[in-house]
A and B are shown apart, each in its own frame.
Chain A
Amino acid sequence: MTGGPHSGGCQCGAVRFRAERLGRASVCHCRMCQKAFGAFYGPLVTGHGVTWTRGALKRFASSNLVRRGFCGDCGTPLTYEHDGGIELAIGAFDDPSAAAPTLQVNPRERQPFTDGIPGLPMRAPGSEPRQEDFRNRVISHQHPDHDTEAWPPGGLI
């Protein structure tokens, strides 16, 4: 992993973090990662020199050995923490593309359709006017993909 530091945070912006360096990036197919992320796998990258630059995590001890951190205000899954270190949710980074996974963990537990997901049919841009209309009406309350001076941004519309 090159570059750094790498910043990120939750959807609403109440919790922000910085990692000086990133280690192994992976997707974990175990049922506990699936459930914690509400998804088909947990996308995690080892963080080195992790500091919390805004707010504080809430944590759930998913087992005696592992704590999973998230934002108590918006729910974004953020960490997988064990005695040996901390892993960060790749999608929570301001630039998730910088943490391309190199490994599948617990592949035997993967959902039967997971391998086929990248090849699923795609909707051509502009092909569904109702969706385009929805998108045009969205006023996002998501924190931007970079650090900000203040939070929350003054006066949500």
Chain B
Amino acid sequence: MAEMRITGGCQCGAVRYALHAALEDPHICHCRMCQKAFGSFFAPLGSVPLARFEVTRGTIATFLSSDPTERGFCRDCGTPLTFHHVGNAHISVALGSLDDPASARPGRQYGLEARMPWFAALPVLAGETTTEEEMGGFAARIASTSHQHPDHDTAWWPPEAGR
């Protein structure tokens, strides 16, 4: 049986990683520190043993958000990538940075003290308006000029290097 390999990386593609184990405890954390680090309402995280986490391209920049916690990101595009308790044998990755986030369904929510008061209402918000319908060809022009790394490993980076 082939070794497990789950891939992901940042938006621009400067940092790519591979997980050689199944994700443990995929979850979301609402705590204020996770909110701030992700610029969002929560951080979606899942962990693997540190020895099963491999950076396959580039270098992860880190910010020590508290004494026990190091948060990794791409210094070129900012994508939040990792969460690691210093000294812990596990490291967590940002689930949205996976090439296939749909495979990482979260099972629990943590940090409820900071959960946004309107959080439960998000799924029922109006959702008919899309970028395409609202802005004509804007979405198509974005798609055709995207500088986002594709959702799979690539042989080289940046893309221009292969031309």
Complex: how many Å from CA A44 to CA B37? Answer: 15
Interface residues of B in 123-160 (CB under 8 A from A): 123, 125-131, 134, 138-139, 141-143, 145-149, 151
Q: Is the CB of B108 within 8 A of A91?
A: no
Q: Does A96 lie at the interface of the complex (its beta carbon under 8 Å from any beta carbon of B)?
A: yes
Q: Is the CB of A77 within 8 A of B125?
A: no
Complex: how many Å from CA A114 to CA B85? Answer: 27
Chain B residues touching A, range: 35 or more
Which residue of A is nearest B112, CB measured? A122
Q: Is the CB of B44 within 8 A of A39?
A: yes
Q: Is the CB of B64 within 8 A of A141?
A: yes
Interface residues of A in 73-109 (CB under 8 A from B): 73-78, 89-92, 96-97, 100-108
Q: For residue B32, which residues in chain A have a CB less than 8 angstroms away from its CB?
A: 142, 145
Q: Does B58 lie at the interface of the complex (its beta carbon under 8 Å from any beta carbon of A)?
A: no
Q: Does A21 lie at the interface of the complex (its beta carbon under 8 Å from any beta carbon of B)?
A: no
Q: Is the CB of A78 within 8 A of B39?
A: yes
Apart from A42-B40, A65-B141, A119-B120, list 11 A-B contacts with CB within 8 A.
Answer: A11-B36, A12-B65, A39-B96, A63-B146, A63-B148, A74-B63, A74-B73, A97-B117, A103-B129, A120-B27, A140-B66
